[in-house]
Amino acid sequence: MNDHRRLGRELGLFDTDPLIGSGLPFWLPAGAAVRKAIEDYVHELERRHGYQHVNSPVLGKRELYEKSGHWAHYAEDMFPPMLVGGEEFVLRPSLCPHHALIYRSRQRSHRDLPLRVAELGGMYRSELSGVLGGLTRVRAIQLNDGHVFCAPEQAADEVSAALDLIEAAHAQLGIQAVRYRLSLRGEGTKFVDDPPMWERSEAVLRDILKRRGRAFDEERGEGAFYGPKIDIQIADPAGRESTLSTVQVDYYQPERFDLGYTGGDRPVMVHRSVVGGLERLVAHLIEVHGGAFPAWMAPVQAVVLPLSDAELPAAEDLVRRAVEAGLRAELAPADRGTLGARIRAHRLVPYQLVVGPREVASGQASVRLRDGSQAGPVPLAELAERSRHRF
Ligand SMILES: [Zn+2]
């Protein structure tokens, strides 16, 4: 079974240290390369779909979370405040309040809407040590987040557009959702007590799911404190489910932050995450691909294998040219073992470039693919182009 914790260690993707703390993994070079490739892909996907990217701090004053409603409804999942200079600061439990203030920082008019704001940013959750493990339950999350501020009559189309984006990304990443869940409010103080508001936002999400012909389950008590969610569920090899992507309709925070625009009343906030937190996403991708990542996200895209020491200078030159062409490439010299042993050690690398006397003479690399098939001599520029191919 592909357990991401075992593969993560074997492939040098990530690790933890008790001195940093549980639930706080760090990314090793191979894992950081995978993560960066995904970050770049999602950033470009969002840009092509009209998002503007922002950056905001990972903490804010306690009053910010009192205003957003987190303090009243979500405090038990938050880290306790830090006292600095007589003020209390909290590690953020979500990016929404910062984005609401970014919206409010400029005068907005009906013509500016929908305003789509995205950020890949840190958020923090005070999970108990007992439930933490690998990349799936962590205390520091790097979240692919975004908020669409739109007029009420635009909300349904924006929800649908967010689902299009999610489905496109899943296809590209090789993710298969196990089910769509419409997550509704439950009883108690974890949910804002405003039944008409909930009915309105639930209707928007339910109508869109029906209009798109998607099968879905409705579950009470799984909503956000401010509104319902469409949650797109994935499962690990043991069948344990978790939420990866989400789309939410929120009438609450625009009210709390007194958001407005000229030519209309209050904008609606559509919260959406295309691929969720990068920790959970990469854990899932490790398991889905068994470590054999598609070329565009592979930690090492090309390994250069000289047949013997005689081809070492040519092989070193090839690595240099591959890196120059934009590939993540490395050398596996002959002193590391037989060609067969070196190929086995790099069996997850998409392009294996064997350099023998013939290749030295021709100046081209013979490409061997992961499945053992030969792609023949391929110019480096073409290999680099192929490994960039995501859209
Ligand atoms: Zn949000």
In the structure, what pLDDT confidence band is assigned to residue 131 with cuts at 50, 70 and 90?
low
Q: Is the pLDDT of residue 355 over 70?
A: yes
Average pLDDT over residues 370-385: 85
In the structure, what pLDDT confidence band is assigned to residue 20 with cuts at 50, 70 and 90?
very high
Give pLDDT tens digits for 253-268. Answer: 999 999 999 998 999 9
Predicted TM-score of the model (pTM): 0.94
- State in Å: Cα 9 to ligand 1 middle: 32
First to last CA, the chain: 31
Interior/surface letters 102-121, b for 16+ CB within 10 angstroms, e for the rest: bbeeeebeeebbbbbbbbbb
Q: Is the pLDDT of residue 26 over 70?
A: yes
- State in Å: Cα 271 to ligand 1 middle: 5
- State in Å: Cα 158 to ligand 1 middle: 14
- State in Å: Cα 97 to ligand 1 middle: 8
pLDDT of residue 384: 84
Q: Is the pLDDT of residue 365 over 90?
A: no
Report whether 261 contacts 104 (CB < 8 A). Answer: no
| Cα-based distances in Å from 247 to 163, 224, 228, 388 | 7, 11, 9, 29
Strand, helix or coil for residue 321: helix
- State in Å: Cα 95 to ligand 1 middle: 6
Q: Strands 52-53, 87-91: parallel, antiparallel or unpaired by DSSP?
A: unpaired
- State in Å: Cα 94 to ligand 1 middle: 6
- State in Å: Cα 147 to ligand 1 middle: 6
Q: How far apart (Å, rounded) are the C-alpha atoms in residues 8 and 351?
A: 21
Q: Is the pLDDT of residue 113 over 70?
A: yes
- State in Å: Cα 155 to ligand 1 middle: 15
Give pLDDT tens digits for 316-341. Answer: 999 999 999 999 999 999 999 999 99
- State in Å: Cα 267 to ligand 1 middle: 14
Q: Is the pLDDT of residue 391 over 70?
A: no
- State in Å: Cα 357 to ligand 1 middle: 58
In the structure, what pLDDT confidence band is assigned to residue 350 with cuts at 50, 70 and 90?
very high
Give pLDDT tens digits for 135-177. Answer: 988 999 999 999 999 999 999 999 999 999 999 999 999 999 9
Q: How far apart (Å, rounded) are the C-alpha atoms in residues 207 and 219?
A: 16
- State in Å: Cα 1 to ligand 1 middle: 34
CA dihedral 315, 317, 318, 319 (to 10 degrees): 90
- State in Å: Cα 226 to ligand 1 middle: 10
- State in Å: Cα 167 to ligand 1 middle: 19
Give pLDDT tens digits for 83-98. Answer: 999 999 999 999 999 9
Give pLDDT tens digits for 193-234. Answer: 999 999 999 999 999 999 999 899 999 999 999 999 999 999
pLDDT of residue 35: 97
Q: Is the pLDDT of residue 377 over 90?
A: no
- State in Å: Cα 234 to ligand 1 middle: 20
